[in-house]
């Protein structure tokens, strides 16, 4: 289950960077919970072909995450929220930590 959640999260972050074909097959497998055989029949591919598309899509999603790092930033942000909700960190300290999380992303400064 944890593996499926990981791929669902990465897909939600980077899925638009995949090809339409990869997105369709990924959604059929991970969202619709269809088997390789069912997808192969729908898409007129072999089971191995479906497996290859899924493998390549997962490789690309993982590569995007290594390069862009949004899942770590998201996790760190959620951790800050949890700390704030638990009263373990002040709003000012959380703001400073959030700034550190996003500091490396100069492209986020488009507001300036």
- The tokens 């898409």 sit on which residue? 43
pLDDT on residue 107: 54
pLDDT on residue 61: 96
Q: State pTM to two decimals.
A: 0.74
Query: Buried b / exposed e across 7-37, counting CB within 10 Å, b at 16+?
Result: bebbbebbbeebeeebeebbebbbeeebebe
- For residue range 34-53, what is the model confidence (pLDDT) as tens digits? 999 999 999 999 999 999 99
Q: Which of 48, 53, 1 is nearest to 26 (CA)?
A: 53
pLDDT band at 104 (very low <50, low <70, confident <90, very high): low
- For residue range 69-95, what is the model confidence (pLDDT) as tens digits? 888 888 888 888 888 888 888 888 888
pLDDT on residue 15: 95
């Amino acid at each position: 289950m944890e593996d499926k959640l990981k791929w669902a999260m990465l897909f939600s972050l980077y899925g638009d960077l995949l090809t339409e074909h990869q997105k369709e097959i990924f959604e059929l497998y991970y969202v619709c919970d269809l088997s390789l055989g069912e997808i192969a029949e729908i898409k007129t591919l072999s089971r191995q072909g479906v497996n290859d598309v899924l493998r390549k899509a997962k490789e690309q999603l993982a590569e995007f995450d290594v390069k862009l790092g949004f899942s770590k930033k998201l996790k760190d942000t959620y951790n800050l929220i949890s700390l704030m909700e638990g009263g373990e960190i002040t709003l000012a300290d959380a703001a400073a930590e959030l700034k550190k999380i996003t500091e490396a992303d100069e492209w986020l400064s488009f507001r300036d």
